[in-house]
Structure 1
Amino acid sequence: MGERGMKLLGLVLLVLSSAGYGVVGLNIWPMPKSVNHGQQSLLLSKDFALDTEGSKYSDSSSILKDGFSRLLDLIQVSHNVDENSTYYDHSQLLKRLHVVIFSPDDKLQFGIDESYKLTVPSTGNPIYAHLEAHTVYGALHGLQTFSQLCNFNFTTRIIEVRQVPWIIIDQPRFQYRGLLIDTSRHYQPLPMIKNVIDAMTYTKLNVLHWHIVDSQSFPLEIPSYPKLWKGAYSSSERYTMADAAEVVDFARRRGIHVLAEIDVPGHAGSWGVGYPSLLPSPTCQQPLDVSNEFTFKVIDGILSDFSKVFNFRFVHLGGDEVDTTCWALVPHIREWLNKKGLNESEAYEYFVLRAQKIALSHGYEVINWEETFNHFGSKLNPSTVVHNWLEGNVAPRVVAAGLRCIVSNQDKWYLDHLDATWDQFYMNEPLANITNSKQQKLVIGGEVCLWGEHIDGSDIEQTIWPRAAAAAERMWTPFNNLAKDPRQVTGRLAHFRCLLNQRGVAAAPLAGLGRAVPVEPGSCYKQ
């Protein structure tokens, strides 16, 4: 570890040693919009159950029922509850969670109402907790918050809800709260992807950006062009379309969208394993051959197949890091450029805009990396969402041009940058230098990115958590409720990191850089 790393480690350890821990603090992550609580306690009844009387939502697809079942699993996962405890006869038992959902519709759409109100009274006969939400997905967020109010009592050996009465009113700051995973640089098995999705729900992130393919491998089945996944690392490191549909449904039932990405025209060398003619030449393989009509037929086929499985409103078409040198060097492409009267830069614009039109024809709105805006922003379709990653000053220019933006600036929100510490993730502000209220609304949210060059199933969780959780609070919690100094939230985030560990998520310690190991023996809460 370098000198800078040692200084940061010392600072974090100093903060941790002086921070308050334990039950007296307000240990909810991310912090809700409004919280009021008392200092009393309730014990969770052994027959604690879900009650939906008066709800307009029928739950015919069991999204709420399954969410409640996961809630019970979460609050009981750390210790064995004694169902024969004599304390169950105590009068202060919380008997039910009464959930009222006002919308009968459970279609997961971008911008859906995710708000909720959670109340836990200290008295009643019987005592019921109450959760109100406009949609079932808001109710799922409320269940996650309720799970963090529950603790195992080592005296009674049952679950306790502390600091009652509670009144929590909550809603997200941004509609788009994303996490990118990369399954091209290393294959991620389906169980690991599902583990990541489950952990996302704990922090109220709501978009899994699946960077499926890249130069190194093409692991996804494309029925329209079945040779494409010959570009996978091996025959077993692949996803069928049924696998992809399972991921989408698994995420949907938890209120999470899946954003699929194919990165064109660069980052696509693996396409040529199955279809060599997609590449400029055997010796000059990227970007995809702009002069070949077959290139655009394949993109159309991919997006047609995507539309049957990936039902999110958006698709990501990449467009970043395009080196057009091959187009000028390969004779048949150079001839095509001359015939069209295009230079290399204009051909790059032609490719991106044509790919956009194909995506639009399949009902998608398009997200592109910021290079497309930097090179020809005024030519992009007006519905384009520009995905910032290179510079911190791009978002103000994007929204000033009237386009929507997602913020992922690499110096603060790239999880594979292991020298980016959790406090940097927490303090990164998507609306920095954007003061116009109309332009602020064009920033639809942010995303933390986990590029996979050094990430596989062995280290994905500790590389994501807890740093992604720090960013998640920035994206969920109202700006005025966010800490102005990260030291103010160190204890609360440390508590949440330990909660993740207790739930089986391999979240790394706060102290140190990135995914560092514990520095010495000691309490989870002080690492």
Structure 2
Amino acid sequence: MASALSRPLLLLLVLVLLAAAGPCAGAGGRVDLWPMPASVSRGARTLLVARDLRLSTDGSRYADALGVLRDAFQRMLAVVELDHVINGTYYQGAPLLAGVRVAVTSPDDEVVLALALALLMLSLSCIVLNFGVDESYKLSVPATGNPLYAQIEAQTVYGALHALETFSQLCSFDFNARLIELHSAPWTIQDAPRFPYRGLLIDTSRHYLPVPVIKSVIDSMTFSKLNVLHWHIVDEQSFPLQIPSFPKLWNGAYSYSERYTVDDAIDIVQYAEKRGVNVLAEIDVPGHALSWGVGYPSLWPSATCKEPLDVSSDFTFQVINGILSDFSKIFKFKFVHLGGDEVNTSCWTTTPRIKSWLIQHGMNESDAYRYFVLKAQKIAISHGYDIINWEETFNNFGDKLDRRTVVHNWLGSGVAEKVVAAGLRCIVSNQDKWYLDHLDATWEGFYMNEPLSNIYNPAQQKLVLGGEVCMWGEHIDASDIQQTIWPRAAAAAERLWTPIEKLAKDTTSVTARLARFRCLLNQRGVAAAPLAGYGRSAPSDPGSCQRQ
């Protein structure tokens, strides 16, 4: 990580590099794409982009009955044009890019489409975005021909969505010609993600996030190819989600208006899936659940000692079963997150009836903690989920966890290597590097954090599903969430997407490219903070976006 003294020097380097190269520079300049693709070649010719750029799916095996590709193409055009008035003159003989041809080739998409349509008929319409779906693509932009067409080839529609995002970053508005241009053609880009899990956590318990804000976060995730929104829905402070099986649970919301209906949640899931993003739902049990008892006080050990949830009561697990049953109708992702962290079990031993229950069952506090986590896991599995738990469960009784458990590292480094050595899967979110609420954590630290650190066995490396940056909500709300997430989350996104051999060995060589991407986010309406300084910092002086 760069020291405070070296950061101004890095920004000076940004100025020099930006002066030397424009957007998507030619053969002599850098490639201004984020995250960096696996393989890139380009030329030196500038193309004009037609005002009526067309999408063609001739030859594609993907029928796009739900309009996923069509809608993504329209969103791509919007972020390319950025509300500029495109009214320049196309001169005869100028190389004109007339359209984008997309070929989705996997026969699996036909099955996916059929299942999606079946769910649509059941009023649970969604796209089936399976974990580990093929997200690879090939993007080709020719420099000669009449007319010219960019070509996208992908195994699935989700690879095609990533290709459209990459294509959008090749284009820019020419203020003199008042047209959209595409520089450095011909382009050939072949790309695929390094990790299947590339996540961002949001927290709607510490501060409520309105649905449009959540959707704006999902949109911003697609610009850097993140693909899992980890929704930490409830916690000690608030229970904002409607649970039909136990309708009094959302009595624990902050207020009547700071809630999400089931339809809101379904809408968020479908919105995300159409953009290639899965939604991972979390209930954090047995701790972090004080808000549950506002509606159902019997979930508390006592009126004066209110958490963790009462381990001795069958009703506790009936409620968990009801929540997960309702979740299974909303959240279609393969995984559910059951938390399990920071459990202070003292209420169990200071509440006489629970203490008696422990003695009767031959348990101490540690045994009861394990009993609770394992019983919650069985309930989740009964509803078709694989489980994710925070790392304390592994640290305390890893050999007892269900073998389908994914251990979510957060306390620090060195955990992932122990998890995979034990044969379990892991997600990396070590707080010293990938916690966005740590405002002193710089983007350089986000970029250099390696999920496979000290893991050399190829079989064990495959057990690391990826990583996640965490936007805990104690000190953020709708007013400042985006500038706290970006651009630091983008630095982690490249680490999770780009092949390790293509990643920069130090952050100096990517500073200018990330600065341009941060400006691109701003242009697209995402309030990404300057690179200089720390998380959520304001610009220090007047100047260009690309110099901050």
TM-score interval for Structure 1 and Structure 2 normalised by the shorter chain = over 0.9
Is 1:396 the counterpart of 2:401? The answer is no
One-letter identity of the residue aligned with 1:67: A
TM-score of the pair, normalised by structure 1: 0.98
1:268 corresponds to: 289
Is 1:22 the counterpart of 2:43? The answer is no
CA distance in 2, matches of 1:463, 1:255: 23
Q: 1:212 aligns with which of 216, 227, 233?
A: 233
State the 1:108 CA deviation.
1.0
| 1:92-151 superposed Cα distances (whole Å, 9 cap, x missing partner) | 100010110002334310000000000000011211110000000000000000000001
Provide closer, same or farther for how the CA distance between residues 315 and 396 of structure 1 changes in structure 2, counting only shifts above 3 A: same
CA distance in 1, matches of 2:137, 2:249: 44
1:72 corresponds to: 77
CA distance in 1, matches of 2:433, 2:85: 40
1:279 corresponds to: 300
State the 1:88 CA deviation.
5.4
* Paired residue secondary structure (2:90): helix
Is 1:345 the counterpart of 2:348? The answer is no
State the 1:86 CA deviation.
2.1
1:452 corresponds to: 473
State the 1:204 CA deviation.
0.3
* Paired residue secondary structure (1:348): helix
Is 1:504 the counterpart of 2:525? The answer is yes
One-letter identity of the residue aligned with 1:264: V
CA distance in 2, matches of 1:46, 1:14: 38
| 1:272-318 superposed Cα distances (whole Å, 9 cap, x missing partner) | 00000001111111100000110000000000000000010000000
State the 1:210 CA deviation.
0.1
| 1:57-86 superposed Cα distances (whole Å, 9 cap, x missing partner) | 11111100001010111101152211xx32
State the 1:13 CA deviation.
2.8
One-letter identity of the residue aligned with 1:22: G
* Paired residue secondary structure (2:183): strand
* Paired residue secondary structure (1:7): coil
The farther-off stretch of 208-217 and 105-114 is 105-114
Q: 1:48 aligns with which of 50, 53, 74?
A: 53
TM-score of the pair, normalised by structure 2: 0.94
Q: 1:7 aligns with which of 5, 12, 33?
A: 5
CA distance in 1, matches of 2:161, 2:92: 30
2:378 corresponds to: 357
Structure-to-structure mapping, 1:77-226, within 5 angstroms: 77=82, 79-82=84-87, 85-87=88-90, 89-103=92-106, 104-105=109-110, 106=112, 107-226=128-247
CA distance in 2, matches of 1:168, 1:6: 37
2:118 corresponds to: none
Structure-to-structure mapping, 1:307-322, within 5 angstroms: 307-322=328-343
* Paired residue secondary structure (1:87): coil
* Paired residue secondary structure (2:444): helix
1:441 corresponds to: 462
2:356 corresponds to: 335
2:122 corresponds to: none
* Paired residue secondary structure (1:19): helix
Is 1:31 the counterpart of 2:24? The answer is no
CA distance in 2, matches of 1:201, 1:80: 25
Q: 2:542 aligns with which of 510, 521, 525?
A: 521
* Paired residue secondary structure (2:48): strand
2:65 corresponds to: 60
CA distance in 2, matches of 1:10, 1:56: 51
1:302 corresponds to: 323
Point out 4+ residue stretches in structure 1 off by more than 6 angstroms.
Answer: none
CA distance in 2, matches of 1:50, 1:445: 33
State the 1:5 CA deviation.
7.8
CA distance in 2, matches of 1:31, 1:197: 20
State the 1:19 CA deviation.
3.1
* Paired residue secondary structure (1:519): coil
State the 1:391 CA deviation.
1.7
2:120 corresponds to: none
Contact 1:434 1:440 in 2 (8 A): yes
State the 1:9 CA deviation.
4.2
Contact 1:78 1:503 in 2 (8 A): no
| 1:326-355 superposed Cα distances (whole Å, 9 cap, x missing partner) | 111000100000000000000000000000
Long gaps (5+) in structure 2: 113-127
Provide closer, same or farther for how the CA distance between residues 5 and 234 of structure 1 changes in structure 2, counting only shifts above 3 A: farther
Provide closer, same or farther for how the CA distance between residues 135 and 498 of structure 1 changes in structure 2, counting only shifts above 3 A: same
State the 1:156 CA deviation.
1.3
The farther-off stretch of 56-65 and 8-17 is 8-17
Provide closer, same or farther for how the CA distance between residues 287 and 8 of structure 1 changes in structure 2, counting only shifts above 3 A: farther
CA distance in 1, matches of 2:255, 2:4: 41
Contact 2:286 2:340 in 1 (8 A): yes
CA distance in 2, matches of 1:78, 1:59: 27
Contact 1:173 1:478 in 2 (8 A): yes
The farther-off stretch of 207-216 and 10-19 is 10-19
State the 1:164 CA deviation.
0.2
State the 1:8 CA deviation.
5.5
| 1:230-249 superposed Cα distances (whole Å, 9 cap, x missing partner) | 00000000000000000000
CA distance in 1, matches of 2:454, 2:9: 28
Q: 2:397 aligns with which of 376, 389, 409?
A: 376
One-letter identity of the residue aligned with 1:437: P
* Paired residue secondary structure (1:480): helix
CA distance in 2, matches of 1:500, 1:412: 22
Contact 1:404 1:444 in 2 (8 A): yes
Q: 1:472 aligns with which of 484, 488, 493?
A: 493
Is 1:414 the counterpart of 2:420? The answer is no
One-letter identity of the residue aligned with 1:317: L
CA distance in 2, matches of 1:441, 1:126: 44
Contact 1:45 1:88 in 2 (8 A): no
Report % sequence identity: 65
Question: CA RMSD, aligned part only?
Answer: 1.1
Long gaps (5+) in structure 1: none
Contact 1:119 1:130 in 2 (8 A): yes
